[in-house]
Structure 1
Amino acid sequence: MHKEESFVENRIKSVGFALRGALLLIRTEASIKIQVGLAILVTIAGFYFQISPTEWILQVLAISMVVGVEGANTAIEKICDFVHPEFDKRIGFIKDVSAGAVMLVSIGAIIVGLIIYLPKIF
């Protein structure tokens, strides 16, 4: 007879799966490697320029949004490639919209970074 797992055991397993997914994303996707590198650079800049708690919050949110949406974009692209490996303009549309979402969030993150750091640099 199979023993049902407790809520806590299920949550621990879920966190493990999520961590594995995050590590897979970082190890296998070039765009995430670049974004993680940039996240490290702006984090170092945050300590160097002694940004305020509010600026830290905005910076962490911006970084999290970009990396999170990039992860979703990667998942969407992988699903599309699995479901329909041959070229199809409908799949292309889905991939383009997904990539566009990453671009929009990235532009927002760049704007946040400029608002935080331009006054400190100049």
Structure 2
Amino acid sequence: MRRVLRSFDFAWQGLRHAWRTQLNFRIELGIGLLALALSAWLGVDPVPVLLLTLAVLSLELVNTAIEAVCDLVSPEPHPLVKTAKDASAAAVLVAAAVSVMVGIVLFGPPLLEKLRAYGKIS
């Protein structure tokens, strides 16, 4: 049981590190929370929004880990380190882009309905 608790402690340390040092992590979390609030306002199922938010945040954590390991093993610039960092950042970008596309599909119709109800569009 002690090992399990230590594992959770290490994970929390990783989350705290990402929160303190990674601006993109904080931005992505904020956008995810806004998307959850929007889903509540629009009456959209929050589960897909939560899952997409967690997927993007998870990839951001993996990206942070990859960058840290790359910096450790190669403090000097190296083409393979650049490739690893760029690819891990691209994974986060792709997940964020997919999240935006899914958000348009999920939020578009109910948002248009609300705007029509308020007379903002016809």
Question: What residue number does 1:16 align with?
Answer: 9
Decide which of 81, 92, 109 is 1:91's aligned counterpart.
Answer: 81
Partner of 1:65: 55
- Point out 4+ residue stretches in structure 1 off by more than 4 angstroms: none
Unaligned runs of 5+ in 1: 1-7
Give the superposition deviation at 1:112: 1.4
Q: Which residue pairs with 1:101 in the alignment?
A: 91
The count of residues paired between Structure 1 and Structure 2 equals 112
Matches within 5 A, 1:1-122: 8-52=1-45, 56-122=46-112
Distance across 2 between alignment mates of 1:23 and 1:49: 32
- The alignment's TM-score, normalised by the length of structure 2, stands at 0.86
- Among all aligned residue pairs of Structure 1 and Structure 2, give the percentage whose two residues are the same amino acid: 28
Displacement after TM superposition at 1:95 (Å): 0.9
Q: TM-score, normalised by structure 1?
A: 0.86
The runs of 5 or more residues in structure 2 that have no matched partner are 113-122
Name the structure 2 match of 1:4. none
- Aligned-residue Cα RMSD (Å) equals 1.1
